[in-house]
A and B are shown apart, each in its own frame.
Chain A
Amino acid sequence: MWARAVWLAFRAPAGGRRGLTAKAGPQGSVRITAEMIEHLERLALVDFGSQEAVARLEKAIAFADRLRAVDTDGVEPMESVLEDRCLYLRSDNVIEGNCAEEVLQNSHRVVEEYFVAPPGNISLPKLDEQERFSHS
């Protein structure tokens, strides 16, 4: 009877039970350099500029490394839980639109029907030059 078996388990000292997180295996931690951080900042378009970031990034990678312990040979990646169904496609007819005014109304800078952006293709300055844009 389940009750007795699990009741014993419920009452057993907690020490014998494995915790719910996978133990980190003996993985080498990946070293992150300042250049990598800089490069990543450009990609993600967020600037951090702190040494702490390096440590946190390494920790995050070490955490994710725990997945290596799982045997996934022959397992297909799962993109969506609805993978066995056909995606809904609607017919190619225009049924809505003509709402430029609504779409533009939440922008801070608009000229006629354009969103206004600053000039592009100018990379973020290197780390040591970033003081100019330092945290306000």
Chain B
Amino acid sequence: MALVSAALKQGQITPTELCQKCLSLIKKTKFLNAYITVSEEVALKQAEESEKRYKQGHSLGDLDGIPVAVKDNFSTAGIETTCASNMLKGYVPPYNATVVQKLLDQGALLMGKTNLDEFAMGCLASLLRLRSGSTDGVFGPVKNPWSYSKQYREKKKQKSHDENEDSNWLITGGSSGGSAAAVSAFTCFAALGSDTGGSTRNPAAHCGLVGLKPSYGLVSRHGLIPLVNSMDVPGILTRCVDDAAIVLGVLAGHDPKDSTTIQDPVKPFMLSSLTDVSKLCVGIPKEYLTPELSSEIRSLWSKAANLFESEGAKVIEVSLPHTSYSIVCYHVLCTSEVASNMARFDGLEYGHRCDIDVSTEAMYAATRREGFNDVILEVLLNTLFKPFTVIVVNYENYFVKAQKVRRLIANDFVNVFNSGVDVLLTPTTLSEAVPYTEFIKEDNRTRSAQDDIFTQAVNMAGLPAVSVPTALSHQGLPIGLQFIGRAFCDQQLLTVAKWFEKQVQFPVIQIQELMDNCSSVFENEKLASVTLKQ
């Protein structure tokens, strides 16, 4: 991003040209289904204004004129915001989410709203043994750009001569799959996702991107349609760690409109290039070594740990003893908070409204049945046991118990960090991206229920975490590893991530046929590769 920013400043390319190139790419990659709404006019107008600023030498900063995309659960004034649900089809917010406003204030160009699992419930859907992976929104599933990459296709050809190229496309992971596909396919330089249990990091790992989940309280949630208020954070998806740091620098900070943002002053920062990791202590949580983890990722994780050690870092095994309870705990807490948050969708003030007029209760019930998909209805059903427990069984047994277990889980992390560990290194996902046809099979549901095991404990503890693309699998697909940091030590976390990124030199996705078909607006071919370079 810094390279493009420099190019914009020097006039090698104009914001309008950049915008048009990205819009053209969006059209070319429409089959990915990454975008729900493409805000072409808005983006071009913003590009025009950015161009004026550059001509006058008054650019707003690193993000001025840079195309970005926003997950469709962030409110955008005047632009439809659907959460990929029938419940909000046609809903046009009258305000911008704070994070959206901050991007716009820095001159970023809003390319559009990206696809997601309905209401961002990807991880929760997995838990309930339903489909997720950004396959369940009402606008259809998102396709992983790596399905069409040279790296994947070449490996596939070696195995089979099936010429039906599109039938076996891969999922992106979820719930921020649209944002991940948008960045991965070069239609924008950064995208906002949300992360409640791994929704940013999971698709980042599957799409070969950097997926950052900031510390809870660092970035405003005002305007992010809430799922789990105590765990949601806006997430950032980029192609390199430096870009994530730039975006975080813009977004972080207290927001008077979100009382859960911390009041400590936050300044944008430049990531230093770490050369010496000898003072670093990396923890490897032993409970994360699970039988469900693919052997390839297990081996990569081990290699990564060895890498740190060989460069002088201290690498130790640590224990997070309550890990085995985190899925259940997460399930109970989430379903309760989600049910509360879904209560606002009654058809009166906004969103879908059914035709029944007999009574408020009947109208609410039918509106919600029509507006929500199976996942949400399932969640509501599963949460019914909360009021159920109030009446019939002691409330203490479930919700409060889960809150206590949450503290134990959070304390596990605190204890580890207090023992001198700086960052934890873990896998992000259990395996690489799978084909959609495999994903939706009945017997695959059990495994996908576990897929957030590495990511969701972090949300319960409110810690920052980042998935960094590490290597390609034997099938030519991206595998990411996750770093978890101390609360509010996001800068340190990203510094370590940046060092790691430099060491592993993850390859750029080769989707040349998509790029070449696009009429080139660059005179300088080199610029195209420069924008892709990490």
Contact = CB atoms under 8 A, between A and B. Distances in A.
A94 interface: no
A20 B287 CA distance: 7
B263 interface: yes
A90 B328 CA distance: 37
Contacts of A103: 94, 349
Contacts of A53: 381
Contact of B398 (A47, A67, A82): A67
Nearest to B288: A20
Contacts of B385: 57, 60-61, 64
Contacts of B286: 6, 9
SS class, residues of chain B in contact with chain A: helix
Contacts of B325: 22, 66-67, 69-70
Q: Nearest 6 A-B pairs (CB), nearest first?
A: A81-B462, A77-B403, A122-B359, A14-B291, A78-B407, A106-B350
B363 A20 contact: no
Interface stretch (B37-45, B253-261, B266-274): B253-261
A6 B302 contact: yes
A16 B82 CA distance: 46
Interface residues of B, number: 97
Given A85-B262, A89-B259, A105-B94, A72 B369 contact: no
A56 B322 CA distance: 26
B392 A36 contact: yes
Contact of A6 (B256, B284, B398): B284
SS class, residues of chain A in contact with chain B: loop
A97 B368 CA distance: 29
B404 A77 contact: yes
Interface in A46-64: 46-48, 53, 56-57, 60-61, 63-64
9 contacts: A6-B286, A21-B324, A57-B382, A61-B385, A67-B325, A82-B217, A85-B263, A102-B94, A135-B369
B512 interface: no
A118 B356 contact: yes
A10 B406 contact: no
B430 to A, nearest CB: 10
Nearest to B401: A67
Interface string B389-403: 001110001101111
A128 interface: no
A68 B397 contact: yes
Given A3-B315, A10-B299, A80 B230 contact: yes
A30 B74 CA distance: 39
B359 A119 contact: yes
Interface string A90-105: 1000000001001101
Nearest to B216: A81
A47 B408 CA distance: 36
A83 to B, nearest CB: 9
Contacts of B471: none
B364 interface: yes
A65 to B, nearest CB: 8
A56 B335 CA distance: 14
A89 B12 CA distance: 47
B261 to A, nearest CB: 7
B465 to A, nearest CB: 13
A67 B260 contact: no
A46 B369 contact: yes
A76 interface: yes
A108 B301 CA distance: 53
A77 B333 CA distance: 12
A30 B391 CA distance: 13
Contact of B388 (A15, A19, A40, A122): A40
B365 A47 contact: yes
Contacts of A42: 361
Contact of B361 (A20, A21, A45, A105): A45
A124 B450 contact: no
B225 to A, nearest CB: 13
A106 B291 contact: no
Contacts of A22: 324-325, 328
Contacts of B378: 56
Contacts of A7: 302
Contacts of B391: 39
B78 to A, nearest CB: 11
A103 B348 CA distance: 11
Contacts of A32: 388
Given A45-B364, A48-B381, A122-B359, A78 B387 contact: no
